[in-house]
Chains A and B, each alone.
Chain A
Amino acid sequence: MRGLYAVMWRELLVLRKRLWKTLAAGSISPVLYLTAFGWGIGRNVTMGSGNYLHFIIPGIIALTVMNNSFSGVATPLNISRHYSKTFEEYLIAPVSNLCLALGKAAGGILRGLTASAVVLVVSLLFKVHLHLNLWFFITLFVSSFAFASMGVLAGMVIRSHEDQSNFNTFVLLPMSFLSGTFFHLDLLPTPLASFIKLLPLTHVAIALRSIATDQVTPYASLGVITLFALIFFLAAVFSINRYREI
């Protein structure tokens, strides 16, 4: 466990050193979405129970937590494996792969949560009042854990920085827009909607929205997110195990 502390110590230190840059970089696109789609287009649109802003803010928080938790680990990990080679320093240390995966994931969790906090604050400025309870934050935390673990996995297996940004463009970006973040999945053709319902981000958007606007605890979606978190985390540990053997 002391190994976990060491890995996290470094992540916290680096995050603290560039806190403002990280916060700004992490919240710029959600705030733009909020402004363009929510405030600009959707201010007079009503949707189901309420205002369109109420609909998209949980969706925007969902994609924010995904992108920041994922990229907050995957990109630096990729760089430390291929360019700066600092990852070797962790591999030669007597630290278990479990602690290594957990410590690196912690860096992504932290980035995901801080960026989401910024979006929440901004939405307060837009005078949107969401219903925030403990379940909301549990959902947020488990989701950031799932996406940060996915980031560790990607950082370990993707072979170059270019492939990494391709992954962002071809997987994360479409997922950000299609996973029920900005519109109801019912509007899509059934086969496509069914496929999208298999994606983790869809459940994060559904869960956050049902807590924040409908005040219902989404046990099913929470279960799915937890399952994704476990699978991604185990895969991440496995990818580090395998990496040593090359």
Chain B
Amino acid sequence: MIKITGVTKRYGKIVAVNNLDLHIEKGEFFGLLGPNGAGKTTLIKILTTLSRPDSGTLTINGHDVTKDLVHVKASVGLVPQHTNLDMELTVWENLELHGLLFGLPKKERRQTIEELLTFTELTEHRQRLAGSLSGGMKRRLLIARALLHRPRLLFLDEPTIGLDPYTRRKIWDLLKSMNNAGLTILLTTHYIEEAAALCNRVALIDHGSIVALGSPSELKNMIGSYVVVYDDQGVTRYNFFSDREAAVDFARQITQNVTIRETNLEDVFLRLTSHPVAE
């Protein structure tokens, strides 16, 4: 579905995406994790034709992203990191504009808008100006808009940022059901549990390159399935072990407060990406 080969994007001296290779199969729910400034948004911008790479090739369904603009755009949906709704238009008008821009025939357009308004629980807010919605409603409208032209591939750049736990779960369910119905999804997030709950494959990206790639359990095995967490004079230390016995043996030697638990995706993230705020 997506083939990215040797893609590099520079902003002046900053290398936002660095010679990156990535293949994503049809039907995957793929997660892109990485610290601030890692290059996630830049990669999504390149994939959605908003930005051009300096070098490398990208294809979506065999179409060159930098050349077959019309093909690529028609099959791709985007929920951007920042809200880019037209605040002067109502909820319904934002969707209608999107449908018109993507050339949906009137009957199909109106019908799909109704379905999506129901789906995202925005039906009763349809006549409100987008600017007057709460943050969570705006996010839901962004998702409805991205799905309107029935894309085969959906890019979500931090879709659940600033949402309450209930709304977040609702959006997870929504995305899962879309994925089960055959939609390929690429999502970025800083909520690691979100990636763990949704994604069948995850890439960790740092300084524009992929530092680890695999299913959440593969990534956990990569650093060790068990972790011993203990306090070392005010600094929390993490030691990783591939089996439980080794972890227990190690923990016995620790005199301070100590915890043994299974590794989670957040441990992988912290272990494998650079963090500017010291060790």
Chain A residues within 8 Å of B, Cβ to Cβ: 2-3, 5-7, 9-10, 13-14, 17, 84-86, 88-95, 244-246
Contacts and interface: CB of A to CB of B under 8 A. Distances in A.
22 contacts: A2-B103, A9-B97, A10-B89, A13-B89, A84-B84, A84-B86, A85-B84, A88-B50, A88-B80, A88-B84, A89-B84, A89-B97, A89-B101, A90-B101, A91-B50, A92-B50, A92-B73, A92-B76, A94-B74, A94-B101, A94-B102, A246-B52
A90 B88 CA distance: 16
Most chain B beta-carbon contacts within 10 A, residue among A2, A86, A90: A86
A14 B101 contact: no
Interface in B17-76: 48-52, 69-70, 73-74, 76
Please classify the interface of chain A as helix (H, G, I), strand (E, B), loop, or mixed, using the class held by over half of its residues. Answer: helix
Contacts of B73: 92-94
A108 B146 CA distance: 28
Contacts of B82: 85
A86 B84 contact: yes
Most chain A beta-carbon contacts within 10 A, residue among B50, B82, B85: B50
Nearest to B131: A84
A6 B94 CA distance: 11
Interface of B: 48-52, 69-70, 73-74, 76, 78, 80, 82-89, 93, 97-98, 100-103
Nearest to A89: B84
Contact of A244 (B49, B74, B80): B49
Given A90-B101, A91-B49, A10 B86 contact: yes
Q: Which 7 A-B pairs rank lowest in CB-CB distance, beginning with the nearest? A: A6-B100, A93-B101, A85-B84, A94-B73, A6-B101, A94-B70, A245-B52
Contacts of B74: 94
B102 A93 contact: yes
Given A92-B76, A244-B52, A245-B52, 5 more contacts: A3-B103, A6-B97, A89-B84, A89-B97, A94-B73
B129 to A, nearest CB: 10
A92 B45 CA distance: 10
Contact of A89 (B51, B76, B88, B98): B98
A75 B82 CA distance: 21
Given A2-B100, A94-B103, A95-B101, A89 B52 contact: no
A201 to B, nearest CB: 30
Most chain B beta-carbon contacts within 10 A, residue among A5, A88, A89: A89
Contacts of B76: 92
Contacts of B51: 246
B16 to A, nearest CB: 12
A3 B101 contact: yes
A14 B89 CA distance: 8
A89 to B, nearest CB: 6
Nearest to B82: A85
Contact of A92 (B78, B93, B100, B103): B78
Contacts of B80: 85, 88
Contacts of B50: 88, 91-92, 244
Nearest to A14: B88
Contact of A84 (B87, B97, B102): B87
